[in-house]
Amino acid sequence: MKKRIIDLVTVLAVASVIIAAAVVGKKIAKKNDLELIGSILKPGEEYEAVNNNKWLILHESGKVKDCIYSGEGRGYNGNVQVAAVTDTAGIIMSVHLLANKETPSFVSKIFRRNFTDRFKGLPASDLAGSEVIIDAVAGATITSNAIKEAIIVGYSAGEGLKHNHSFKINAGWPELLVLLLFILSVLISIKRLRAAGKYLQWISWGLSVIFLGFVLGQPLTLPRFITVFTGYLPDPRSELYVLILPVLAIGFILISGKNNYCMSVCPFGAMQEILGAVGNASEIRLKRFSLVKYIQWGITLLAVIIALIMNNPSIAEYSVFGAFFQLTGATVIFILLMLSIIMSLFFRRPWCRYLCPVEGVMTYFRTLRRAVINIFRQ
């Protein structure tokens, strides 16, 4: 009975805190369009709004000098707001990133590659007409495409042009891969297939590391859960597999109580198993480190609360996935990565067991399932 009460109180308390943080975050006023547009003007310049997406930059004499078009594109963690400055002939002169919720290390990669400079000198009308192809930055494809989309949306809306919002879902091998990995996770857990299960497990880990980790670079992260919670879903037109991942991961836990994602699908979890096999890693005795688990869950909850209050999911990103699979991340993340790699040679899954925020999220859903079952049993 005591355990049931603890589960129920935990679920309700965590849910209440998260919802409250989300409400507070929405109420915190973000900069409006006028403030953002004003931030890119040069001293002495004034501007005049034509509509919600177009502004005119004026000389002191009142004559039109240039134009500004502002729009939003779908990024990884939320909408990316961009302003494109054009001359009176519609030629793009500069592109400015006004607001975004992307992981800072990926945004830095965009600027290091001078991605926004690739639009300079291009007619905005040609870009809106899809007559110009701008290659995305490798390792930051979603953010790159979001910037391009924002420019197109801003110009099209500013000029009253129709922008093609075709809703064609592109499903391919990434979606099949995700489904295959979860199917393998089910087969591995079947006792009758225990002999073949070991081989299937290694096949699953290998596929996960190579394709979900290095090729796609899209494992589950804490910011992804936060974006889904706040209603910002991955675009099924180009990211259907990114949407399938959290749905299946949470679905398996709620239905069966088993964390199939972390055990068989997660690419970094698989990488730790491979490192453990190389170093003949041993199991960690949980009783000695039980307090660390509560610290892990507490840090996860704190990261979620801060991200929701700041209305920016990227703040909650402290996992090592990007550092390992895409060589992108802050210095402290690379330090955590190196420690995790070294420890993985001696202990099984140290990152998963005591640091990973995704495991904290999965634990919450497992507790939620247990609490609901106990309520109906009563």
**Greatest mean pLDDT range, 37-46, 93-102, 122-131:** 93-102
112 and 192 inside one domain: no
The answer for residues whose C-beta is within 8 angstroms of residue 314's C-beta and 6 or more apart is 77, 101, 102, 103, 104, 223, 307
Judge contact between 175 and 234, C-beta under 8 A. Answer: no
For residue 286, what pLDDT is reported? 60
The continuous run of DSSP H or E covering 73 comes out as strand 64-74
Q: Give the pair of three-digit tokens for residue 151.
A: 């420019």
120 and 241: one domain?
no
Quick check: is 165 in a domain?
Answer: no
Question: What pTM does this model have?
Answer: 0.83
For residue 227, pLDDT over 70 is answered with yes
Whether 223 maps to a domain, the answer reads yes
- Which of 334, 345, 211 has the alpha carbon at shortest distance from 273? 345
Structure token pair of residue 211 = 């394709």
Query: CATH no. for residue 135?
Result: 3.90.1010
The pLDDT score that the predictor gives to residue 30 is: 54
Contacts of 221 (CB under 8 A, 6+ apart): 317, 319, 321, 357, 358
* Mean pLDDT lowest among 84-93, 229-238, 314-323: 229-238
Judge if 70 and 149 occupy the same domain.
yes
Question: Higher-confidence residue: 66 or 2?
Answer: 66
| Assigned domain for 209 exists | yes
Between these two residues, 170 and 176, which has the higher pLDDT value? 176
Say if 33 falls within a structural domain. Answer: no
What angle (nearest 5°) sits at the alpha carbon of residue 217, between those of residues 330 and 236? 120
Among 177, 166, 183, 185, which residue's Cα sits nearest to residue 241? 177
What single-letter amino acid sits at 21?
A
Q: Domain check: are 55 and 107 in the same one?
A: yes
In-domain check, residue 94: yes
Residue ranges with strand state E in 200-254: none
Same domain, 251 and 314: yes
pLDDT for position 136: 79
Instruction: Indicate whether 223 and 371 sit together in one domain.
Output: yes
DSSP annotation of 58:
E
Boundary-marking domain end, from 125, 158, 191: 158
* pLDDT given at position 130: 63
Predicted confidence (pLDDT) at residue 3 exceeds the cutoff of 80: no
Tell me: do 6 and 139 sit in the same domain.
no
Shared-domain flag, residues 268 and 217: yes
163 falls within a domain: no
List the domain range (segments joined by +) for residue 82: 44-158
Residues 261 and 355 in one domain: yes
Task: Note whether residue 37 is domain-resident.
Answer: no
What letter represents residue 83's amino acid? A
Last residue of a domain, one of 158, 193, 219: 158
32: in domain: no
Higher pLDDT, 36 or 261: 261
pLDDT of amino acid 6: 82
Which of 189-198, 228-237, 299-308 is predicted most confidently? Answer: 299-308
Answer with the one of 158, 180, 209 that is the final residue of a domain.
Answer: 158
Return the biggest CA–CA distance within the chain.
83
Tens digit of each residue's pLDDT (9 = 90 or more) over 45-62: 788 888 989 989 887 767
215 and 143 within one domain:
no
pLDDT of residue 244: 92
Q: Is the pLDDT of residue 36 over 90?
A: no
Question: Could you report the per-residue pLDDT of 55-97, keeping only the tens digit for each?
Answer: 898 877 678 889 999 999 988 888 999 999 999 899 999 999 9
52 and 114 co-located in one domain: yes
Kindly state whether residues 190 and 333 are assigned to the same domain: yes
pLDDT digits (tens, 9 = 90+) for 99-112: 888 888 889 889 88
At position 364, the amino acid (one-letter code) is Y
Q: What is the mean pLDDT of residues 1-10?
A: 78
Q: How many domains does the chain have?
A: 2
- The total number of residues written for the chain in this structure: 378
